[in-house]
Structure 1
Amino acid sequence: MHLQFRTATPDDASQLQALVKSAYRGETSRQGWTTEADLVADDRIDVKGITAKITAPDGVVLMATDDDGALVACCEVVKRSADLAYFGLFAVDPRRQGGGLGRQVLNYTEDYCRRIWSVTKLEMNVIWTRDELISWYIRRGFRKTGKSKPFPYEELVNGAALRDDLYFDVLEKDLNTRTAASADAA
C-alpha cells in the first residue's frame, strides 16, 4: 500500500484521538498486536492532548492515509535538541497491523527528522513489559539505552492502570546508520 503523509492540524485531533485509542486501548486494540489493554484501561490521550501535540512549537503529528484518504497511522515527533528528536504516539489501525504500514511510517518519520531538523538520533519510550514491540524496534535499528522513565500514572485519561509496576524503557536509534530492514523498505 502506498501511503500519503501530511502534518496534522487541530481539525484532525478528533480522528487522531480515535485512531490512537483504537490501537492501544479497549477491545478494538486487541485486533492488532500493539494493544496495551491488559496494562492500562484508559483512553490513552484525549482530543485536548492531541491538539496540544499538534500545536507544540517544537514538534509535529504526522498522519498517514491510504489511497482512499482514510487515516491508517500517525505518530508524533518532537525536536529535543540539535541532534535528538523524540518519537511517540505511534499508532497503526489495528485492522491493518502486520502488513508493513508501521515500517513505512517509521521510515518516513526518520527521513522527516533528518531532512527537516537535521537530527542524528531518535529516542522513544516503550512500556518495559512489551517485549514483542521492543524486539520490533530493535530489528529496525533501535537499541535499549539502559535508561528508564517513570510511567505517568497521574496523566491517565478516563481510566486507570491495571498494574502498579509500569515504567518505560528508553530506546534510541542512530539516524545516520540504516539497518537492513530500513534499506529493504526504502
Structure 2
Amino acid sequence: MVTTQTVLTFRKATTADARDTQVLIKSAFRGDSSRAGWTTEADLVDDDRIDEAGVIAKINQANGLVLLAHDNSSALVGCCEIQGRDGGFGYFGLLAVDPLRQAGGLGKKILVEAEVMARDQLGVRMMEMRVIWPRQEMIDWYIRRGYTKTDRTEPFPYAHLVNGKALSDDLYFVIMEKELLEPRMASI
C-alpha cells in the first residue's frame, strides 16, 4: 500500500475565512462530529466553542493571528491562534484539526509552523497555552512536543460559553509553556 504524505500550506486568516474557521473549530471540539477525532471536549462542554464574531476578533487582534492550514487539495484542515505579548511571551490556542484527519500528524505540523511564526514574526520566546484539566491525553500530547506543565491554573470561563453550557462544574485550565529556541545553525 502506498501512502502519500499530506503537504500543508499555511496562511494568515482574513475576516472572509471566519465562518469556515469557526465551523472547523466547532467540529474538532464540540458535538457529535468531534467524536470522530480524539480532541473532542463534547463530554465536558456543550456549546459552540467560539462564534464567528469571536473568530473575527482573533483574526483582527493586535500582535496576533489565526493561522490556517490547507491540504494538497486546498481544503481547510486545521487552524490555530498565536499572539505575541510583552516581554517575549506569547500565547498559543485554538489548535483544531478536522476530526476525520486527526492522528495523522497534521496537528504537529501546524504547531511547529505556529511556533516558528510566533518566534520569527512576533518575537515570542516563551509560548504559553491552556488545556482543560481532564484532557490528560491532550496534556501528554503537548508534553511530547516540548511543553511543560506549570503549577499555574486558570479558572474555566463558565460565564462566557457560546450558545451552551458546561457539563461539569469543576473545570479549570492547566497552563503549559515552552521556550521557543532559535534554530540551530548548520555546521560548516
Query: TM-score, normalised to structure 2's length?
Result: 0.93
- 1:108 maps to which of 113, 119, 129: 113
Match of 1:156 in 2: 161
Unaligned ranges ≥5, structure 2? 1-5, 184-188
Which amino acid is the alignment partner of residue 98 of structure 2? Answer: D
- 2:144 maps to which of 132, 139, 159: 139
Match of 2:13 in 1: 8
State percent identity of aligned pairs. 55
**Which protein shows a greater Rg?**
2
Q: Displacement of 1:147 after TM fit?
A: 0.2
Which amino acid is the alignment partner of residue 36 of structure 1? Answer: E
Q: Displacement of 1:177 after TM fit?
A: 7.5
Unaligned ranges ≥5, structure 1? 179-186
Query: How many pairs align?
Result: 178
What is the distance in 1 between the residues matched to 2:109 and 2:83? 19
Q: Tell me which stretches of 4 or more aligned residues in structure 1 moved more than 2 Å.
A: none
What is the distance in 1 between the residues matched to 2:182 and 2:157? 32
Match of 1:90 in 2: 95
2:80 is aligned with 1:75: yes
Match of 2:56 in 1: 51
2:69 is aligned with 1:64: yes
Query: TM-score, normalised to structure 1's length?
Result: 0.94
Match of 1:38 in 2: 43
2:22 is aligned with 1:17: yes
